[in-house]
A and B are shown apart, each in its own frame.
Chain A
Amino acid sequence: MKFAVIVFPGSNCDVDMYHAIKDELGEEVEYVWHDADTLDSYDGILLPGGFSYGDYLRTGAIARFSRVMQEVIKAADAGKPILGVCNGFQILLEAGLLPGAMRRNESLSFICKPVELKVENNTTMFTNSYEEGQTITIPVAHGEGNYYCDQETLANLKAKKQIVFTYKQNPNGSLENIAGIINENGNVLGMMPHPERAVDALLGSADGLKLFQSIVKTWRESHVVKA
């Protein structure tokens, strides 16, 4: 399976993401610059964290109009797995690939610490290696992770089991403790915590690795190995 890590000016978790895929997961991965005009050769798309375009205007608001995003939307429509972490999640929200928006953290502080998450839905292509209801520890690092959507959208998210991860203890004021949501088709996941920073027990936690393993497992099941 071949992954693309999209790099915007101001991305800063791209190297961690690349490392997680290449060294810990053992799959192919390449960096793709924000002005790329095709993603056809990739099986999975990863939008890393950081401060794309300096977070000017709103987080993710400018990155959302970069050339590669048209290709990300195309890949999403084609059913490829798309994972947006932190700023990547914010970009997916701005692009309308996921519903809702981010507000400043309730405390107004930048929060950087490991947090406990609950796996609310383990039937997605991103979470099928976890147990349902499992508690995992993954770090967050953000100033704007206070998820918001209107009541109608929230009811929809609940009805369709699109809330994938919740915080056990809400760090940022996020609505209903939401830490990560998936689109209706089940192939676009956005989450504030950084699974790519939790892929080695030596560095605190390896709980994020199963997320990437789930993606690969699902992909292999639907792609017959060519002889």
Chain B
Amino acid sequence: MYKVKVYVILRESVLDPQGQAVTHSLNSLNYREVTDVRIGKYMELTIEKSEREINEVVDEICHKLLANPVIEDYRYEIEECVVQ
């Protein structure tokens, strides 16, 4: 069994209106040292072992559904865990 943590975030080249709004809000709270905020998504997947390589499966899932490659990048961390 694997626990997979997936992070999806808008690409650097794509303007993030939500992140900008939060940056402005932080600045107006006097955190003037905050120059940029980018908002993304965090997902936790539980995946059973199969005959396929886990990295390959996760890459495929991210590319197909979890992220939109036109505007988003993703990265993930895989943790193997023992089933009780």
Is the CB–CB distance between A101 and B70 below 8 Å?
A: yes
**Among A106, A148, A173, which residue has the most Cβ atoms of chain B within 10 A?**
A148
A161 interface hit (Cβ, 8 Å): no
- B15 at interface by CB-CB < 8 Å: yes
Per the CB 8 Å criterion, the residue count for chain B at the interface is 13
Cβ contacts A to B, 9 pairs, < 8 Å: A58-B68, A61-B65, A61-B68, A99-B70, A101-B70, A103-B17, A104-B18, A106-B15, A148-B70
Verify if B71 is at the interface (C-beta below 8 Å from A). Answer: yes
Query: Considering the complex, which residues of chain A in the window 88-106 have a beta carbon less than 8 Å from any beta carbon of chain B?
Result: 93-94, 99-101, 103-106
CB pair A101 B17 closer than 8 Å? no
A-side contacts of B65, CB under 8 Å: 57, 61-62, 65
B57 at the interface (CB under 8 A from A): no
Tell me whether chain A's interface is mostly helix, strand or loop, or mixed: loop
Interface size on A, residues (CB 8 A): 21
Whether, in the assembled complex, A213 has its beta carbon less than 8 Å from a beta carbon of chain B, the answer is no
Residues of A within 8 A of B13 (CB): 150
Q: Give A58 to B10 CA distance when docked, in angstroms.
A: 12
Contact, CB under 8 Å: A173 / B14 = no
Q: How far is it, in angstroms, between the C-alpha of A58 and the C-alpha of B15 when the chains are bound?
A: 16
Option from B16, B18, B66, B68 in Cβ contact (under 8 Å) with A101:
B68
CB <8 Å contact, B14 and A103: yes
CB-based contact A108/B21 at 8 Å: yes
Contacts of A155 in B (CB 8 A): none
